[in-house]
Amino acid sequence: MTLDRGESPRVILRGDWTLANYSRLRRVELSDVESANDTSLQLDASEVSAMDTSGATILLNLFGADTLAKLTESASGLSRERQALLQAVAQAVASQKASPPSQRWRLTDSLADLGAWTMRGWRQVLQFLDFLGVTLVTLASLIPRPWRWRWTALTAQMHHAGLNAVPIVMLLNFLVGAVVAFLGATVLADFGATIYTVDLVAYAFMRELGVLLAAILLAGRTASAFAAQIGSMKINEELDALRVQDLSPIELLVLPRVLALVIVLPLLTFLSIMSGMAGGAVVAAASLDISLAQYLTIVQDIPIRHMLLGISKAPVFAMLIALIGCLEGMKVAGSAQSVGEHTTSAVVQSIFVVILLDAVAALFFMQMGW
């Protein structure tokens, strides 16, 4: 590259401006050109035999984006393809410079992320409360109008959410009951109190584990199903079709699902308690030499209020699980990816809320002496 000083100074480019000559081209300096008048400077590329992105980058670094753009417009011997190449390289370099560099971790950034997460959580709480209010208002409007109740949909949801879940709920609780009995026997054997393993299993499943395991299973299989079903209907514009016909999606889709779970979860909780204690009875008979009659005698001495306390939490858990699943389905928008995201969110939120409320209820019952 040389500078032709004349009435109209020209920068003459020669040879191959390619990657093969990159190391040599990097040593090119423009000390003479820098002193020239930029407004009168011209670019002559008629003797350039080849040019690629490496050569274009060298020119961009030498002249700068603005100067090179002006030179390119009036350059002689520069084909349209090479003009487009220079423009593309200039745009790519400009976009890289525009992106902010990665910064080191700062406490203020963490606090900002925490604040944003808190606000998102608060907005979700408000959305849930709004959805809960709409559902309760719709339910109140249907109570004096039993002819508008969707009995077929209610029965179908009870079948899918309740009857189909019985095998997995009973099997899981049976196994957990056996594990709890093994653990209790191992610890209590050191104190010569293996007989209290029966009380441990019975109290655990009556008050906590029975309803908790049943609710978690329902949160995993039913909340996700509700979110996916309603989300798919929203993508297919079926919800819009219902509204056009002056039909309420809350009345047709949400209420049957909520009421079905409120009905079936207490029943599943009772089966969970029975199957959990059955698992404990098998372990007690096989490993602790506690006969079934002795096991049942000890269980009969436990006050029934402990079972009622456990079952009393089931309708609340059921309502929350159903509402969260339906709400996440209503939030679906755009694509199948959105269905997957909100289905996952429904499961995570349902399990989190169930465990949180169960812990709060346990503390409340303990403080009340129940």
Write b or e for each residue in 222-237: b if 16 or more Cβ atoms lie within 10 A of its Cβ, otherwise e: bbbbbbbbbbebbbee
Question: pLDDT, tens digit, for every residue of 225-283?
Answer: 999 989 888 888 888 888 888 888 888 889 999 999 999 999 999 999 999 999 999 99
Task: Provide the pLDDT for residue 3.
Answer: 64
Q: Where are the alpha helices (DSSP H) in the chain?
A: 22-25, 31-34, 53-63, 65-74, 80-98, 107-142, 151-161, 166-188, 197-204, 210-218, 224-235, 238-244, 249, 255-287, 292-300, 305-312, 314-330, 336-368
Report the alpha-carbon distance of residue 91 to residue 97 in Å, rounded: 10
DSSP assignment string, 131-151: HHHHHHHHHHHHTT-GGG--H
115-140: average pLDDT: 89
Task: Provide the pLDDT for residue 36.
Answer: 47
User: What domains are defined for the chain?
Assistant: 2-98 (3.30.750), 121-368 (no CATH)
DSSP assignment string, 261-320: HHHHHHHHHHHHHHHHHHHHHHHHHHHS---HHHHHHHHHTS-THHHHHHHHTHHHHHHH
Grade residue 7 by pLDDT with cuts at 50, 70 and 90: low
Question: pLDDT, tens digit, for every residue of 102-121?
Answer: 556 677 778 888 888 889 88
Residue with token string 């949909």: 153
DSSP assignment string, 337-349: HHHHHHHHHHHHH
